[in-house]
Chain A
Amino acid sequence: LAKTTQPISMDSYEGQEVNITCSHNNIATNDYITWYQQFPSQGPRFIIQGYKTKVTNEVASLFIPADRKSSTLSLPRVSLSDTAVYYCLVAPGGVTGGGNKLTFGTGTQLKVEL
């Protein structure tokens, strides 16, 4: 499984855009990139998944360069409620393909202040 590297923590203010970058230099051809969000004492929650270029949904965007060795989760106009740990995962087929188990890295603690 491709190893991922993320910043341990990030700070931001309400209303700002937050970009969290994840490195996955050893990503394989059939690997997808998935991001999860976790609040204290809760299970992780799926945010977004992508394979290449750009993916956008109602809560975030995911940017993946052509070499796919990194990815950036973009959260537009964050609020206090976005304070959480964000995990970048890389797995064959992603979370919607295959029966593979998910391996979590260290994650990024995002703290949003007023």
Chain B
Amino acid sequence: ILNVEQSPQSLHVQEGDSTNFTCSFPSSNFYALHWYRWETAKSPEALFVMTLNGDEKKKGRISATLNTKEGYSYLYIKGSQPEDSATYLCAQGAQKLVFGQGTRLTINP
């Protein structure tokens, strides 16, 4: 089983500040890297799926980068808003996803 590590485990950010967190994964046998946002009592929502080294994806104020050679991905949130409060999960794989423990983000108004 692959080990996917996320850091930090939790993060408190002031509204309006920008933040980022990390996902690291084994670089061998890489297929795809997934980022999900998971709000309490809701379904995990897919943010990005990245497959190529150097991929950069953006959705509104959220963006992600991928380095498959060194085995890491960053997720950036610009100008945090209270609705960004959630757990952010990363996962590696194509068919069978292997998840990290997540980063729990809390935005303080």
User: Are A and B interaction partners?
Assistant: no
Give the A-binding residues of B (Cβ under 8 A). Answer: none
